[in-house]
Structure 1
Amino acid sequence: MLRLLKGLLKTLAACALLLTVGVVVINLWILQKTHARIEHEVPLCVAQPVGLVFGTAQWLRQGGSNPYFKARIETSAELLRLHRIQHLLLSGDNRTRYYNEPINMWRSLRHRNVDDEYMTLDYAGFSTFDSVVRAKEVFGAGRLMLISQDWHLPRALFIADALGVEASGCAVPDDGVDGEWRLRVREWLARAATFGDLYIWGREPYFLGPLEPIRLSPP
């Protein structure tokens, strides 16, 4: 019995080691594949017709505004002012009547003098994967600027590449917050899971719906 238990523990340890190596290799591959297309200086971000803004909570659970939300909104408004993009696709979760990421983004951008004609709301962006798929399949965006924190952009760009979307990343200013290391660790796991979504188990978006092409306003 003891010998069987030792053999089982060795097998589990070997599997854990292989899994860890796999996660690291996938992450290094994704980072190498995407880092050259991520710009950290907002005025230098590669011009694209549509900027895809990924939703996040406006407020922190412990209270106060979410700096990630604020940075994405302020950067999006600046990109429009600088004519780096012509239109914003605000994609996020709309799980309940009391939690609506696209509406919160829209309101915040309106407060920054962004007109409705430059914004389209996607209420079914339940994940990074769903947001990018829907940008192409529902809103007809074949070229995108992805707007988010720099640690999130490699995964989003990787998804865009797999879908045949011409995309670049514009990293929003990020001064970091307490506990951000947990998000970065989780992102490493999410990149590995995304590899599986795309190339192993063939994930599909939660909801697509009819085609609603974005109508670009004149620059």
Structure 2
Amino acid sequence: MVRKNFDQKLEQLNQNILKMGSMVEETIHKAVTSLVEQDIDLANEVIENDDVLDDYEAKIEHEAIQLIALQQPVAKDLRRIDMISKIATDLERMGDLAQNIAKFTRTFEGEQLVKPLVDIPRMGELVQGMIRDSLEAFVNLDVEKAKEAAKRDDKVDKLDSQIFRELLTYMMEDPKTIKQGNMLMFVSRHLERVGDHATNICERVIYMVTADWVSY
């Protein structure tokens, strides 16, 4: 009976992580879309909903601490609960990065973008896929899927470097683009950081299953 109660509470933690991950994925999509389409209402929605993710992280942290204190889990279960808590932190930080992107959208209100945004949406799609697959690996304890998702961070890094070089060229040719170019570099860097947090989740999944720490 004690084990059954523990498993139920652990499953609830798993479901809360999945819900939070789905919210983060959607938030990143909305933030990037708001920038590409210059949709201020959508940007405001992202900014206003950031507290929801903060509350989710606090809820998961509280439930994880209670589960450890009341159930005294064995080593493998303890690793899982610890990783769940850390994954929640990664997801919350991704939400903060998405909020910052939405704030850039508001800064650009009424301005014509220096160039059509192509690579930034591609980065957004890549990191959303990494989040989705890292959490699927978490649920299924799938080490190979976690490794595959983590390796995709290289593509995100390459796009970030490509965007930096391209915007730098614009800024050198026309000083009027410097302010906006700098902000778009920050957007790209924020998405690169989202990819890093998704990679963290993959590494945590591998550790949770194998008890070995690997870095990508």
Normalised to the residue count of structure 1, the TM-score between the two structures is: 0.26
| Bigger strand share | 1
| Bigger helix share | 2
Normalised to the residue count of structure 2, the TM-score between the two structures is: 0.26
